[in-house]
Amino acid sequence: MKKVLMVLIISPGLLLTAARAQDKKGAAVAPTPTTDTAKKKPAGITDKIKSSRKYDGLFTLYQDTVTGTVQLYVKKNQLGKEYIYQSFSINGPNQLFLNQSMHRQTLVFKIEKAFDKLEFSRVNTRFWYDPNNPVSKTATVDKPEAVFLVEKTVSEDADGYLISADGLFISEKLDPVKPLFPPGIPPTAIFNLGNLNPAKSRYTALRSFPSNSDIVVDLAYDNPAPYNNGTTDITDARYVRVRMQHSLIEMPKNDFQPRRDDPRVGYFSQMVTDQTSISPVPYKDIIHRWYLKKKDPNAALSEPVEPIIYWIENTTPVEYRQAIVDAGLKWNEAFEKAGFKNAVQMKIMPDDADWDPADIRYNVIRWVSSAQPTYGAIGPSFVNPKTGQIIGADITIEWFSGSATPILDELFKSAATTGTLQFAGMEPQHEAFCSLANELKSQLLTGMTVLDATNASPAELGEMHKQFLTYLVMHEMGHTLGLNHNMKASQMLSPAEINNTELTHQIGLIGSVMDYPAINIAADRSKQGDYYTTKAGPYDLWAIEYGYTPFNEGEEAAGLKKIIARSTDPKLAFGNDGDDMRAPGKAMDPHVNINELTSDAIGYAEERFKIVNQLMGKLVQKYTKDGQSYAELRTRYGTLLGQRFSMASAISRYVGGIYIDRSFPEQKSTNKPYTPVPLATQKRAIDMMNKYIFAPDAFDADAQVFPYLQPQRRGFTQSNSGDDFKATENILYLQTSSTLSHLLHGATLQRITNSRLYGNQYSVASMMGDLQKGIFNADITTNVNVYRQDLQTYYVRQLVSIIDPKNQQFEDVSKAAALYTLKKIKTQLTTAVSTNDETKAHRANLVFLIQNAIEPK
């Protein structure tokens, strides 16, 4: 068969050159006047624009002052050039990720003329080829064009062409707006906007500047027969208007140098493959970073020509503004490592500001209180896809009013559907969906409950809250500086060091603010140190040094190599979302996880289990308050249950875990790239789960709270199944979703067996046996309580499912171990002592399930 070398083309002159400073977003830039009389009026289009207002800028727009329709004027010298498109949602259903300041679609496009039409097409930025290599001549082969719009010209003159703009902007051509419905999702599961109704849609604002044109539109959607009425933010599910901004941006022209990505440090990046390279790793991936240039190139420490300016929106509560300013400025310590002084500046948007926070030239930290918060806080930025230069950023902090939030009350009932929403033609944007504030808020509420229970002063509560806000702002700002998550950072300090403020004020509590750590709570209240880290950690300083240190020409490769060589320092440990283990069966390294703390996460979790059990005894007294219902008590209880869930999840990942070391050979790490977790650690994790999650008395402390867990009635909102707390359902969910669903996941079992070949001493059969001990031994000679009945039945059912010959998710080693364990359980049940009918019925059911599975009729 003929071999075809597949090379995709991008214009060589445009790649990896670039860019203009963030002056576009700089505060001081004034809007250019929208009328430009110096130029000669285009003769041929006069007739078509006579009742229009002109918006002159990167693209010239004409809006009819009577009908509101818009025409776009494309200059002849704009044909064939590349531009950046960025869309933002300004107002729309949160559950469809159309809420304020969502940075949505980023793409590169170009316009070309074909006969009497203009063609708009998207440019593929995923490949690079060396223009000096003859293979580059085949660059156009097998690269289908992505033409998203063809529009007939209305008229033309010597300089350009006029077209109707509706096809571009009152449409879903550039941004898909509506999510795809994943197959199998019933129409009742996701709120559906229906179809775009152009007749009811309109232009809301036009802004045109020399380097960018913003077109704000209200897109009207009609759905005459909605199956799903949406959440309370949806006024009428049949009629929804979505406010969107289309921004057309000039390719930055400056001496910005793209910086190569490295697997040992965590930047958002553009993946680019060199199609003319014979290297086994032909990657030219580039990181997202701002364009910083020293005012004084020779100074070791210099101010940048253009600093990165963040504006705090004037909707932010006055009492939080200073804390946000202080938090943002703390990033300057990191930029000093890269040679920049005052790189980050924080300003407060005046109440009488004449600019709109949606103006892309301003980076704004926004503050909202929406009806249906889905994210807590987001820190997206948008970049030039060809160079990685960050062009703008916004942060939105979602203010949860009150502490009795539905999110925490429904901790175990959250709908999974929205997390799977996909948009046609859009890359998944991990940075856009940072759930930190949700996780952090749950941790904060735990801390507040501890302080309440120990009668802490309002000042101490205030300090905890300030640390929380500082951490949140620093984290989201970190995203806008290009950093992705570092879920390995919370393991930096030992349990003995974690409350030593002399140390934590110097280097931080954790290696990076880009983690989702557990709040630090000392079991001995007199030893309490910091609750959250409030400074850039060693990893953050190092990551910014990697991403932003300027180098003289020809010195960058060596300079970066020297910086990255330090990655083996344990304080610089890094692992991002791709390696984190929060989802069952996912990833490998238990050090890369959320909601845990210290280098001994298992020991720290045990301490937290004890704290939670102690708090149970104080909940009813602390949250029984005259003049209010028991809704707050129910929320606090849900928060503590969530703590157990987080801790159990974190511990369970040590079983079958593999420590990852991503250093390169020349760094001479003492670790291999993959090292199985030692047997004793895996056993310790199992013991901890057996004691605090599976044991018959694991939830004894909760019983005193159950009679009080009453939500507040509103209208007729009581659940159809009654609004009492469903303890068995919730606790079984906790026991299984946090731990067993991971331990018995096909991927986990396969990894346990595979790693037996290179050092893992724990087999699937041994693990299943140890689980059997924890789940059955303690009450084999007594009656079995309702939690344990559910747990034992779940365990048996899972093992039965594994041995099912039709189930292809499990290897034979796992199937054999499951069968062996089922037989042992059956034998064990013959020695059981049951004195009540409930236990007799339960055990008879288990024997029935096992018997049917082993010897099906």
| Footprint of Zn ion (CB under 5 A) | 434, 436
Least CB distance to Zn ion at residue 93 (A): 22
Q: Residue 395: how many CB atoms within 10 A of its CB?
A: 28
**770 contacts 683 by C-beta, under 8 angstroms:** yes
Amino acid letter, residue 592 = V
Q: Which is nearer to Zn ion, 436 or 473 (CB)?
A: 436
Q: Which is nearer to Zn ion, 513 or 764 (CB)?
A: 513
Pairing label, strands 202-208, 239-250:
unpaired
Q: Which is nearer to Zn ion, 21 or 510 (CB)?
A: 510
Q: Which is nearer to Zn ion, 436 or 464 (CB)?
A: 436
Least CB distance to Zn ion at residue 439 (A): 9
Least CB distance to Zn ion at residue 384 (A): 22
Least CB distance to Zn ion at residue 582 (A): 13
Q: Which is nearer to Zn ion, 304 or 376 (CB)?
A: 376
Least CB distance to Zn ion at residue 478 (A): 8
CA distances from 811 to 749, 756, 804, 818 (A): 8, 14, 12, 11
Least CB distance to Zn ion at residue 537 (A): 15
Q: Residue 144: how many CB atoms within 10 A of its CB?
A: 7
In angstroms, the CA 651 to CA 681 distance is: 10
Least CB distance to Zn ion at residue 614 (A): 31
Amino acid letter, residue 77 = N
Least CB distance to Zn ion at residue 104 (A): 18
Q: Which is nearer to Zn ion, 480 or 839 (CB)?
A: 480
Least CB distance to Zn ion at residue 516 (A): 7
In angstroms, the CA 528 to CA 498 distance is: 9
CA distances from 699 to 128, 489, 730, 732 (A): 58, 31, 12, 11
**104 contacts 267 by C-beta, under 8 angstroms:** no
Q: Which is nearer to Zn ion, 480 or 783 (CB)?
A: 480
Q: Which two tokens stand for residue 750?
A: 């396969």
Q: Which is nearer to Zn ion, 395 or 434 (CB)?
A: 434
Least CB distance to Zn ion at residue 396 (A): 13
Q: Which is nearer to Zn ion, 103 or 842 (CB)?
A: 103
In angstroms, the CA 84 to CA 384 distance is: 7
CA distances from 459 to 455, 466, 518 (A): 11, 10, 22
Q: Which is nearer to Zn ion, 262 or 515 (CB)?
A: 515
Which segments within 802-842 are labelled E, that is strand?
none
Please give the full DSSP string across 451-492, using - where no structure is assigned: HHHTT--HHHHHHHHHHHHHHHHHHHHHHHTTB---TTGGGS
Q: Which is nearer to Zn ion, 113 or 430 (CB)?
A: 430
φ/ψ bin of 268: left (φ > 0), alpha (ψ from -120 to 50), beta (otherwise) = beta
CA distances from 577 to 168, 266, 433, 587 (A): 35, 10, 12, 9
In angstroms, the CA 704 to CA 511 distance is: 40
Which residues 6+ apart lie within 8 Å of 387 measured at CB? 16, 17, 18, 19, 252, 256, 258, 286
Q: How far is CA 699 from the centre of its chain?
A: 32
- Using the structure block, give the residue that is written with the tokens 């849609």: 201
**812 contacts 802 by C-beta, under 8 angstroms:** no
Least CB distance to Zn ion at residue 198 (A): 37
Least CB distance to Zn ion at residue 368 (A): 17
What residue spans of 134-192 are helical by DSSP H?
166-169
Amino acid letter, residue 789 = Q
Q: Which is nearer to Zn ion, 234 or 469 (CB)?
A: 469
Burial call 806-840: b when 16+ CB within 10 Å, e when fewer: eeeebbebbbebbbbbbeebbeebeebebeeeebe
Q: Which is nearer to Zn ion, 249 or 434 (CB)?
A: 434
Least CB distance to Zn ion at residue 434 (A): 3
Q: Which is nearer to Zn ion, 257 or 480 (CB)?
A: 480
Least CB distance to Zn ion at residue 534 (A): 17
Q: Which is nearer to Zn ion, 344 or 453 (CB)?
A: 344
Least CB distance to Zn ion at residue 429 (A): 12
Three-state secondary structure call for residue 74:
strand
Q: Which two tokens stand for residue 795?
A: 């365990």
Least CB distance to Zn ion at residue 436 (A): 4
- Closest residue to Zn ion: CB criterion: 434
Q: Which is nearer to Zn ion, 234 or 434 (CB)?
A: 434
Least CB distance to Zn ion at residue 373 (A): 15
**612 contacts 653 by C-beta, under 8 angstroms:** no
Q: Which is nearer to Zn ion, 487 or 822 (CB)?
A: 487
Least CB distance to Zn ion at residue 398 (A): 13
What separation, in Å, do the N-terminal and C-terminal C-alpha atoms of the chain show? 53
Q: What angle do CA 435, 440, 446 make, to 5 degrees?
A: 140
**536 contacts 338 by C-beta, under 8 angstroms:** no
Q: Which is nearer to Zn ion, 436 or 601 (CB)?
A: 436
Q: Which two tokens stand for residue 140?
A: 């156009």
CA distances from 326 to 321, 535, 610 (A): 9, 10, 35
Which residues 6+ apart lie within 8 Å of 394 measured at CB? 101, 103, 357, 363, 364, 365, 366, 380, 381, 480
